[in-house]
A and B are shown apart, each in its own frame.
Chain A
Amino acid sequence: MAGVFSVEVFFVLFRESLEASIILSVLLAFLKQGFSGSGSDQVVYKSLVKQVWYGAAAGLFICLIIGGTFIGVFYSLGNDLWAKSEDLWEGIFSLVATVLITIMGLAMLRINKMKEKWRVKLAKSILDSHKHKDMSWWNPKRITTGYAMAILPFITVLREGIEAIIFVGGVSLGTSASSIPLPVFTGLAAGLLCGYIIYRGGNVMSIQIFLIASTCFLYLIAAGLFSRGVWFLEMYRFAKAAGGDVAENGSGPGSYNIKASVWHVNCCNPLIDGGWQIFQALFGWQNSATFGSVISYNVYWICICLTILAALYEEKHGHWPLLGRFQKKKMTEAEIDQMVREAASAEKLATVKNAGSHDIPMDSFESTSEEESKDVSR
Chain B
Amino acid sequence: MKSFVVLLLAFMAMVSAKTVTYNLTATWVQANPDGCHERRVIGVNNVWPPPTIEVDKGDTLVVHFTNGLDDRNSTIHWHGLYQNGTADMDGPSMVSQCPVAPGASVVYNFTVNQNGTYWYHAHVPSQYPDGFRGAFIVHDKEAYFADMYDEELVLPLSEWYHDEMQVLVPKFMSLYNPSGAEPIPQNLLFNETMNSTIHVKPNTTYLIRLINIGAFVSQYFWIEDHDFQIVEVDGVYTEPSTADLIYITAAQRYSILLTTKNTTDKNYAIGTRMDDNMLDLIPEDLLLNQTNWLGYNDDKSDYHNADPSLKDLTAPFDDFYLVPHDKQGILPEPDHEIVVDVSMDNLDDGVNYAFFNNITYTRPKVPTLYTVLSAGDDATNSLVYGEFTHTVVLEHMDVIQIVVNNADTGTHPFHLHGHEFQVINRSPSYGDDDPTPYDPESSDNPPFPDIPMRRDTVYLRPSGHMVLRFRADNPGVWLFHCHIEWHLEQGLVLTFVEAPKIIQEQTNVRPDHWAACADLSVPTTGNAAANSANFLDLTGQNAQVIFLPAGFTARGIVALVFSCISAFIGMGFIAWYGASDLSNTEAKIILKNGVELNDDQELDIQDTETVNPHLAHHN
How far is the CB of B501 from the nearest CB of chain A, in Å? 42
Interchain nearest-CB distance for B544 vs A (Å): 14
Within 8 A of B (CB), among A310-335: 311-312, 315, 332-335
Q: Does A1 reach chain B (CB closer than 8 Å)?
A: no
Rounded to whole angstroms, the CA-CA distance of A348 and B562 in the bound complex is 58
Contact A348 B175, beta carbon cutoff 8 Å: no
Instruction: Please state if B179 and A334 are interface contacts (CB–CB under 8 Å).
Output: no
A163 interface residue (CB < 8 Å to B): no
**Is there a chain A Cβ closer than 8 Å to B600's Cβ?**
yes
Question: Which residues of B in the span 230-284 have a Cβ within 8 Å of any Cβ on A?
Answer: 280-281
| Segment among A133-141, A177-185, A213-221 that sits at the interface with chain B | A213-221
B314 interface residue, CB < 8 Å from A? no
Contact of A301 (CB < 8 Å), options: B345, B550, B569, B582:
B569
B539 close to A (CB within 8 Å): no
Q: Does B585 contact A (CB under 8 A)?
A: yes
In the complex formed, the residue of A with least CB distance to B558 is: A262
Alpha-carbon distance A201/B533, docked complex (angstroms)? 92
Question: Contact string, B334-360, partner A, CB cutoff 8 A, digits 1/0?
Answer: 000000000001101110100000000
Q: Does B598 belong to the interface (CB within 8 Å)?
A: no
Q: How far apart are the CA atoms of A349 and B603 in the complex, in Å?
A: 13
A68-76, A239-247, A270-278 - interface stretch: A239-247
Q: How far is the CA of A116 from the CA of B617 in the complex (A)?
A: 21
Answer yes or no: A144 CB below 8 A from chain B CBs. Answer: no
- Contact residues, A275-289 vs B (CB, 8 A): 283, 289
Pick out which of these stretches binds chain B: A2-10, A167-175, A188-196, A204-212: A204-212
Would B552 and A345 count as touching, CB distance under 8 A?
no
**Which residue of A is nearest B582, CB measured?**
A208
Q: 15 A-B pairs, CB-CB below 8 angstroms?
A: A110-B584, A208-B578, A216-B575, A242-B177, A252-B346, A257-B178, A259-B175, A263-B555, A264-B556, A266-B550, A297-B567, A302-B570, A304-B574, A341-B608, A345-B605
- Does A337 belong to the interface (CB within 8 Å)? yes
Q: Which of B562-619 contact A (CB under 8 A)?
A: 562-563, 566-567, 569-571, 573-582, 584-587, 589, 592-593, 595, 600-605, 607-608, 611-612, 614-615, 617-618
Task: List the 9 closest A-B pairs by CB distance, nearest first.
Answer: A263-B556, A253-B346, A301-B570, A212-B578, A258-B350, A254-B178, A112-B584, A109-B578, A301-B566
Interface of chain B residues 521 through 541 with chain A (CB within 8 A):
none
Query: Using Cβ atoms and an 8 Å threshold, which residues of chain B touch A37?
Result: 602
Determine whether the beta carbon of A334 is less than 8 Å from that of B618. yes
Q: A221 to B241, alpha carbons, bound, how many Å? A: 67
Q: Can you name the residue of chain B whose Cβ is closest to the Cβ of A332?
A: B618
CB distance from A55 to the nearest CB of B (A): 24
Q: Are A244 and B571 in contact (CB under 8 A)?
A: no
Known contacts A223-B567, A304-B574; A333/B552 CB under 8 A: no
Judge whether A259 and B581 touch: CB under 8 Å: no
Interface string of A332-357 (1 = CB under 8 A from B): 11110110011011001100000000
From B554, which residue of chain A is reached at the shortest CB distance? A263
Does B176 sit at the interface, judged by CB under 8 A? Answer: yes
The answer to whether A36 and B601 touch across the interface, beta carbons within 8 angstroms, is yes
Bound-complex Cα distance A365 to B604 (A):
12
**Bound complex: CA A147 to CA B175 (Å):** 68
CB distance from B182 to the nearest CB of A (A): 11
Do B346 and A258 touch across chains, with their CB atoms under 8 A apart? yes
CA A108 – CA B575 in complex, angstroms? 12
Is there a chain B Cβ closer than 8 Å to A249's Cβ? yes
Q: Does B181 contact A (CB under 8 A)?
A: yes
Tell me whether A312 and B577 are in contact (CB under 8 A).
yes
Check A262 against B559 for contact (C-beta < 8 Å).
yes
What's the minimum C-beta distance from A76 to chain B, rounded to whole angstroms?
A: 26
**A308→B577 contact, CB < 8 A:** yes
Asked if A368 contacts B570 (CB within 8 A), the reply is no
Q: Are B552 and A265 in contact (CB under 8 A)?
A: yes
Centre residue among B567, B575, B601, B603 by max chain A CB count within 10 A: B567
Do B584 and A341 have beta carbons less than 8 Å apart? no
Cβ of A262 and Cβ of B608 under 8 Å apart?
A: no
Asked whether A255 and B178 contact (CB < 8 A) given A223-B570, A263-B552, the answer is yes
Q: Give CA–CA (A36, B281) in the complex, Å.
A: 76
Residues from chain A with a CB closer than 8 A to the CB of B548 are 253, 258, 264
Q: Which residues of B contact A289 (CB under 8 A)?
A: 556, 559-560
A162 at the interface (CB under 8 A from B): no
A112 in contact with B585 (CB, 8 Å) = yes
CB pair B563 A244 closer than 8 Å: no
Determine if B35 is an interface residue (Cβ-Cβ < 8 Å): no
Interface-centre pick from A111, A112, A246 (highest chain B CB count, 10 A): A112
Q: Are A349 and B605 in contact (CB under 8 A)?
A: yes
If the complex has contacts A33-B601, A301-B569, A342-B608, are A204 and B587 also in contact, measured as CB distance less than 8 A?
yes
Q: In the complex the two chains form, is A294's CB within 8 Å of B559's CB? A: yes
Which residues of chain A are within 8 angstroms of B593 by Cβ–Cβ distance? 333-334
Q: Are B176 and A243 in contact (CB under 8 A)?
A: yes
Are B178 and A253 in contact (CB-based, < 8 A)? Answer: yes
Q: Give Cα A312–Cα B580 distance, bound, in whole angstroms.
A: 9
